[in-house]
Structures are given as structure tokens and as C-alpha cells.
Structure 1
Amino acid sequence: MDSREIRSDLIELRDALRRFAEERDWGRFHTPKNLATALSVEASELLEPFQWLATGQKDELDETRLEAIRQEMADVLAYLVMLADKLDVDLFKAALEKIEINRAKYPASKVRGDARKYSEYGD
């Protein structure tokens, strides 16, 4: 899948979410604050199937947990796309820009195999 297809898929998803909300007259509830709050709640719910697992690796997840994770991931994505829509953020472009920011913060030659935060590396 190339970048044009991904961007097109995000636009298609945005449009489907717009239609879904319009059909229910929910647009007035979808303020940036409410969408950010819902996004946070759904992201927290994404953690629930992992709770109490020894490592949280995929091999510990049964079909029920995998499906719950899939559903929560869909909720997180939906709220993120709706929030971006309300704030006129091009998610695809923002993600690519963030990769470049992180590339500068975390040069591969310096951080390979080390998960510390960039501020912990020193010069």
C-alpha cells in the first residue's frame, strides 16, 4: 500500500464517520474537547485486555482478547480521525512530520537497542 492509498483510506474513513455522526445528529457533541476525552477513554480501554498478562505478547492473547483489542483500536482510530477532522489536521502529513522530528531526537546510530527517552542520552 503506498502513501496515496493510505491518505485516501483516511479520507474515506473520515467521510464515513462524518456521515455516521450526521445521521444521528451527533455533530454538536463532537467538540474537540469531547473527542479528545473520548479518545483518551478508548485508549485506556485498549489496555484492559492486556491487564495481568505476564508479558503482553501476542501469544498470550486468546481470540476473545484479540477481538476486544481490535474493537478498541477501531474506536481509538475513529475518535482520532474525528478529532483531526474538527481541527483541520492532516493526520498522514502530521505522522510523517513526527517521524522526522523523532529521527532527529533519536538517531539510529546513537539509540539502537536502547529505549530511554531522548533527554536521557546526553551528548
Structure 2
Amino acid sequence: MNLTELTARLHAIRDRNDWQQFHSPKNLAMAASVEMAELVEIFQWLSEDQSRQLAPEQLQHAGQEVGDIVLYLLLLCSELGIDMEQAVRAKLADSERRFAP
């Protein structure tokens, strides 16, 4: 996944629709949270086993919500000047150190 390319494509959509005025860090974080809630809604009331065996349409819907979340996070990183790949790598390295056997 090329995050630079994805971000450029997102910016093109944003700019074409004059949405940058709405893309404050606060708004983008809130939008990502709303999309996360939509992902959670797919699993609401499912058992643990059911949540691991989604029907094809539920799995597709979950993928769409994951995509929405990632895209909002890419926009948020862009607005804040955060290098998402570097942030994820740093967090993973921290988890590896903290939770190593």
C-alpha cells in the first residue's frame, strides 16, 4: 500500500469537492470515530464465534468501514504532518519492546 499515492488521491477528491474547509483535525478525528462506530455496529449483538464468521455481505460491509476509517486517518495525518508509516512502525517497535517474552 503506497500511502503517499493514496493521500494524493484523497487530496484530489477533497480539492475537487472543496472539502478542505471541513477537514480540521478535530473534524477528521470525529469522522474517523463515527466510521469506527459503524464498524462496531456490524458486530453488535454477535457472539464471539459469529463475529469470526461474518456472512459475505457483512464482511464486505466491514471492509468498507475499515476503508473509511483508514482514509480519514490518512487525511488526519496529512493535516497534522504525521508520517503514518513512521508512526505505525514506531508504535509497533514500542509494542515489541514492551511485550517481548
Within the candidate set 4, 9, 13, 1:16 is matched to 9
Task: Give the share of equivalent positions with the same residue, in percent.
Answer: 36
Give the aligned partner of residue 36 of structure 2. 43
Greater share of helix: 2
After TM superposition, the runs of 4+ consecutive aligned structure 1 residues lying more than 3 A away are: none
TM-score by length of 2: 0.93
> Which protein is bigger by CA-based radius of gyration?
1
Give the aligned partner of residue 105 of structure 1. 98
Map residues 1-123 of structure 1 onto 2, 5 A cutoff: 6=1, 9-55=2-48, 56-57=51-52, 59=53, 61-107=54-100, 109=101
Cα RMSD (Å) of the superposition? 0.9
Structure 1, unaligned stretches of length 5 or more? 1-5, 110-123
Higher relative contact order structure (alpha carbons within 8 Å, sequence separation ≥ 6): 2
Structure 2, unaligned stretches of length 5 or more? none
Q: Distance in 1 between matches of 2:68 and 2:43?
A: 17
Q: Distance in 1 between matches of 2:91 and 2:66?
A: 21
Amino acid at match of 2:89: L
Q: Show CA shifts across 1:82-123 (max 9, x none).
A: 00000111110111111111122111x1xxxxxxxxxxxxxx
Give the paired residue count: 99
